[in-house]
Structure 1
């Protein structure tokens, strides 16, 4: 966590140096659009294009890092809502900037540290212990709350994109993510088997399910903080512009909270779906 705190302190210090100047400039407009990444009845590339086109942003921010953005128009996933809607928008408005705001090297970062596949394997093991009644009463209660929250989120997945951008969804999602990243680790930390089971990292070192899952949970905070800071950097760099941030719906509540927490006076967040 020391690395996280040092990183955030350094990044925020740079941002707040621009605070006085930001107070006197025209505020950047930020639209945080929670998306589902693959085309479905909830959201399709055409539907997302219509949303973006109505806002008419100067800049699009993608949940990709700089390396992924290099091949953004080359490796096209036909089911990707963001990619196909964005390319259509860029064709219509070629002067638009299309930029990344993701944690750099996100996927490899998780693999190198053993977070993946420890995250999946830990939850899978918890579920198997739950089914055969081998969790303690305390851990059973934690896991049941987590399962109930997941089921509630599944009900939202049968609605529409406006509902997935609602305060009701954000409230439930915040609760579910809190359980996943702060309560479920208590199960792995208190059951001996999660210290005995391990995965092998790419460098050949072993890491227990317990430690790998905890690192993965910590990364949720680091990743979202990094994305929020990158958004603010863009807001400062493109002062007075209109920016659409395309992010998975599960990140939206967290990014909004962080953008409020780190507000430097350079931007205002606008809710499109209200």
Structure 2
């Protein structure tokens, strides 16, 4: 009997921790993240009703809007009602779904930065000066080609502003926006840098291009922070459609590790 017990004891000691082991934890379901490229001014085919209909289709728990925290109260309500397409559509949806959360995701101090550096007016001055050089045949052929291509891409992208949401939110449009923004911030900047008569604008063009990158990177970072902090089941991000390619590029590499999946709004519905 003594030998029997001596050989049984190690088996019992090894087995004991297994009896008290917790059940394996199930992974939390991935957050469904929907980025909707928008137009800020209502059109016949993309208006506040369109925004409200997209939200009703997706039924998000969280809506992220293209504003910074200065527009919000500590309770995350807008200080003043907005007047753009997205603001009006969100307000209509939240009247029926008051529990849905609203958060800002734009870079902090956006509007003040715009005012301080004249980002809403000075790019037009630069383009007017470039156009004057073009019309007077002072640009080199290569520089003239860059300006021609920029105008063509801008015209093509602007035409999409009159289309419905399902047309705007297509990969071909994101690719077009990426090409157009490359010409605006890199190619035109290179032309300005090469023209001595535009030296007064060279530092501005660098700042303008840098802010485009910094702003989009901050947007993507804030989106990820909201997902990590709030862990919503579904999120809709409303953003001007020229930003969408950049956000997709920034967010996609983090999706698997951070537990979210990117979807188009028309891929989801209330029952999915």
Counterpart for residue 62 of structure 1: 65
Larger Rg belongs to: 2
Deviates more, 1:215-224 or 1:86-95: 86-95
**Contact 2:105–2:219 (8 Å) recurs in 1:** yes
Unmatched tracts of structure 1, length 5 or more: 1-22, 196-207
Q: Distance in 1 between matches of 2:94 and 2:137?
A: 54
Counterpart for residue 180 of structure 1: 184
Question: Deviation at 1:58?
Answer: 0.6
| Residue number among 75, 91, 95 corresponding to 2:95 in the alignment | 91
**Contact 1:65–1:104 (8 Å) recurs in 2:** yes
1:182-232 Cα distance to aligned partner (Å, 9 max, x none): 11101110001111xxxxxxxxxxxx3111121011111110000001001
Counterpart for residue 271 of structure 1: 264
Q: Distance in 1 between matches of 2:266 and 2:114?
A: 33
**Contact 2:51–2:85 (8 Å) recurs in 1:** yes
Deviates more, 1:129-138 or 1:177-186: 129-138
Q: 1:100 to 1:240 in 2, by over 3 A?
A: closer
Question: Deviation at 1:162?
Answer: 1.1
| Residue number among 62, 73, 80 corresponding to 1:74 in the alignment | 80
Pairwise CA RMSD:
1.8
Q: 1:240 to 1:24 in 2, by over 3 A?
A: farther
SS at 2:35 equivalent: strand
Q: How does 1:231-242 map to 2 (within 5 A)?
A: 231-242=223-234
Counterpart for residue 170 of structure 2: 166
Q: 1:66 to 1:75 in 2, by over 3 A?
A: same
SS at 2:265 equivalent: coil
Counterpart for residue 217 of structure 2: 225
**Contact 2:31–2:234 (8 Å) recurs in 1:** yes
**Contact 1:25–1:239 (8 Å) recurs in 2:** no
**Contact 1:116–1:212 (8 Å) recurs in 2:** no
Q: How does 1:10-21 map to 2 (within 5 A)?
A: none
Q: Distance in 1 between matches of 2:165 and 2:224?
A: 25
Deviates more, 1:65-74 or 1:213-222: 65-74
| Residue number among 249, 256, 259 corresponding to 1:257 in the alignment | 249
Q: 1:93 to 1:157 in 2, by over 3 A?
A: closer
**Contact 1:143–1:184 (8 Å) recurs in 2:** yes
Q: Does 1:47 align with 2:50?
A: yes
Q: Distance in 2 between matches of 1:268 and 1:141?
A: 40
TM-score, structure 1 as length reference: 0.81
Counterpart for residue 148 of structure 1: 152
**Contact 2:39–2:161 (8 Å) recurs in 1:** no
